[in-house]
A = this chain, B = another copy of it.
Amino acid sequence: MSNYGNEEINIPTPAAVPRKIQAVAKATIADDNVWQWIHDAAASSPIQPTVNLGTGFIDHNPPEFLIEAHKKALDSVDSNQYAPVTGSDLLRQTIAELYSPLYGRQLNPVIEVCVTSGAQYIYQIKMAGGTTRYIPLRPPKSQQKTRVSGNDWSLDIAELEAAITSKTKMIYLNNPHNPLGKVFTVSELTAIGNLCVKHRLILLSNEVYERIGCNPSHTLTTVSLDKLLNATGWRVGFVIGYEALIQPVIATHLVLAYSSSGPAQDACVVGLREAEKRGWWSVSAEDVGARIRRLCRALDETGLTYVAPPNAWFVVNIDKINLPKEYKYPPLFGIASIPGSCFYGPDHKALGERYVRFGACKSDAGFELAEQRLALLRPHVSVSL
């Protein structure tokens, strides 16, 4: 028997990791490499510095009342120590109070709300041994208009139903949709809800950016509170649903994270209440709107077709770009973006191939550079296809 004190340093290889875990890790990291790849592509651009319109990284601070509330929470002994597994009582009460009117029923903060710490849904399904099937949103047929709406992208409900098998457990919906900003219509939501009722499926509704309900009774709604309040680094969100569905969410949260940040939760209580009181939601929407309009003007100048969604991202159609031979498209003349194919499942990558995602969450300095860069595109855009 060897003595590890005298063991030759035997640096582990991937073979030390069980094969199943290796496979999941490899797939996850490969998929996530889009960020690394954008970073590398941006670094290799002949035009520097690159403006990063690719990631959703917000380059301005959350509102001052939220920051002040967080600082105050840090002076409280209770805030700094373990928060309850399901979240602070006050935060759950606040969520129930503010979201009950949106749900049209009184939410019970004790058994129908669980505060959580972030998630990557698709990978979690894979890691739990589940199978994912992707139903694509298809772009509008006509590409001739300068500006189209995210709502022009369409979901084929028959295609969705055809993908449901006896093993299907859940439909996962992202509404409003990232990156299109498409808000699903009442008729689309009704059709999706009907499928859930008919096939006894749970609806997992990921409403990251907005407070719009879509709630047949078997719905779990997830909300990223930190995104809502411009503090994506704080890792506080929540899940709302009926008790029978929330219980497993609580158990899973307990196992995976145990609890979420105490001071950040306390700050969010004040943040939510102040945002309501001060009308900050519309201030925030107006701020995003102004950034979107600014990027729209710059895109209008280029002559490209794009989607300008409310409160979300840009999807730009690059069909009309005749790039100089020496160019590979990302980065587009010193602008980092995310290829549209990243937003499609493995069977539908082609649908996104002629699109890139631009984020509008930039500061003035970021915009000025972006405007200069977009102007460089102008000579390479065809007037008509």
Could you tell me which A residues sit within 8 Å of B by CB distance? 1-5, 7, 9-18, 21-22, 24-26, 28-29, 32, 57-62, 67, 70-71, 74-75, 77, 79-83, 85, 117-120, 123-124, 127-129, 169, 186, 190, 193-194, 196-198, 200, 202, 216-218, 230-235, 241-242, 244-245, 247-248, 250-252, 254-264
Knowing A22-B248, A61-B77, A81-B232, say if A193 contacts B4 (CB, 8 Å): yes
21 CB-based A-B contacts, threshold 8 Å: A1-B194, A2-B194, A3-B190, A5-B193, A11-B217, A13-B244, A16-B218, A16-B244, A17-B202, A17-B248, A28-B254, A58-B77, A67-B74, A67-B80, A80-B234, A82-B232, A82-B233, A117-B257, A119-B257, A233-B259, A235-B259
Q: Is the CB of B32 within 8 A of A85?
A: yes
A2 CA to B200 CA, complexed, in Å: 12
Q: Which residues of B contact A242 (CB under 8 A)?
A: 11-12
Q: Which residues of B contact A216 (CB under 8 A)?
A: 4, 7
Knowing A233-B80, A244-B12, A251-B24, say if A261 contacts B264 (CB, 8 Å): yes
Of the candidates B233, B241, B257, the one whose C-beta lies within 8 Å of that of A256 is: B257
Tell me how many chains of this kind the complex includes. 2
Of the candidates B10, B59, B120, the one whose C-beta lies within 8 Å of that of A258 is: B120
A127 CA to B128 CA, complexed, in Å: 8
Q: Is the CB of A7 within 8 A of B217?
A: yes
Q: Which residues of B contact A233 (CB under 8 A)?
A: 79-83, 259, 261-263
Q: Which residues of B contact A77 (CB under 8 A)?
A: 58-61
Knowing A233-B81, A264-B261, say if A124 contacts B255 (CB, 8 Å): yes
The smallest C-beta distance from A20 to any residue of chain B, in angstroms, reads 9
A241 CA to B244 CA, complexed, in Å: 39
The smallest C-beta distance from A157 to any residue of chain B, in angstroms, reads 11
A29 CA to B178 CA, complexed, in Å: 34
A129 CA to B24 CA, complexed, in Å: 14
Name the residue of chain B whose CB is nearest to the CB of A236: B261
A252 CA to B123 CA, complexed, in Å: 9
A373 CA to B329 CA, complexed, in Å: 73
The smallest C-beta distance from A98 to any residue of chain B, in angstroms, reads 21
Q: Is the CB of A248 within 8 A of B4?
A: no
Q: Which residues of B contact A255 (CB under 8 A)?
A: 28, 120, 123-124, 127
Name the residue of chain B whose CB is nearest to the CB of A201: B16
Q: Is the CB of B75 within 8 A of A67?
A: yes
